[in-house]
């Protein structure tokens, strides 16, 4: 069950940050929309409504969740870079995943959102000064301050985490590409 829930392992906060790490996170964030395109290519309605594991979200919910989550990340990035340690607004992802838009909006809409949001996010990340990576926001749900570099690491992991949910389900079901 752990491997189905966390196919690439649980997120582990890096102990520090190097230019090599930053390049890797940016590369993963840049690739995510293309990975998601490949993951959902040629899936029909039945397949999109299949949960990636027992008790897990459907592929449709996962795709919309990634778009929701990464839109929030983009806003958090901009807040951290334009305000002094702002407090962000958390959201209840499990409730967002049950909203009507997640059930009726075609997944390609959220993939298009990922392309747009990631383009904007990457444009910022690739042009930040070294000191910008240390800017922070405060997350009241976790009662924790996050530096921008950790946000980049987390969302790079998050995209891989969810694309692997879909990829491995396709593999288990023999859905191919």
pLDDT tens readout for residues 57-70:
999 999 999 999 99
Distances 104 to 49, 51, 57, 64, 176 between C-alpha atoms, Å: 11, 16, 15, 11, 25
Would 6 be classed as within a structural domain?
no
Would 10 be classed as within a structural domain?
no
Would 4 be classed as within a structural domain?
no
Looking at every residue in the chain, the average pLDDT score rounds to: 97
| pLDDT tens-digit series, residues 39-51 | 999 999 999 999 9
Would 41 be classed as within a structural domain?
yes
Backbone angles phi and psi of 146, in degrees to 5: -110, 125
Mean predicted confidence (pLDDT) in 23-47:
98
| CATH classification of the domain holding 135 | 1.20.120.450
% of the chain residues with pLDDT over 90:
97
| pLDDT tens-digit series, residues 74-127 | 999 999 999 999 999 999 999 999 999 999 999 999 999 999 999 999 999 999
pTM of the predicted model, to two decimals? Answer: 0.96
């Amino acid at each position: 069950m752990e491997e189905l829930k966390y196919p690439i392992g649980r997120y582990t906060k890096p102990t520090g940050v190097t230019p090599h790490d930053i390049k890797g996170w940016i590369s993963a964030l840049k690739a995510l929309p293309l990975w998601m395109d490949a993951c959902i290519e040629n899936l029909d309605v039945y397949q999109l409504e299949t949960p990636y594991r027992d008790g897990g979200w459907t592929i449709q919910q996962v795709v919309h969740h990634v778009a929701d989550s990464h839109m929030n990340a983009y806003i958090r990035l901009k807040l951290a870079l334009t305000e002094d340690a702002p407090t962000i607004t958390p959201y209840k992802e499990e409730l967002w995943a049950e909203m009507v838009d997640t059930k009726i909006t075609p997944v390609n809409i959220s993939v298009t959102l990922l392309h747009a949001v990631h383009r904007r996010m990457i444009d910022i990340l690739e042009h930040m000064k070294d000191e910008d990576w240390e800017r922070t926001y405060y997350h009241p749900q976790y009662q924790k301050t996050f530096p921008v570099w950790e946000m980049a690491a987390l969302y790079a992991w998050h995209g891989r985490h969810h694309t692997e949910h879909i990829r491995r389900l396709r593999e288990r079901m023999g859905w191919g590409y």
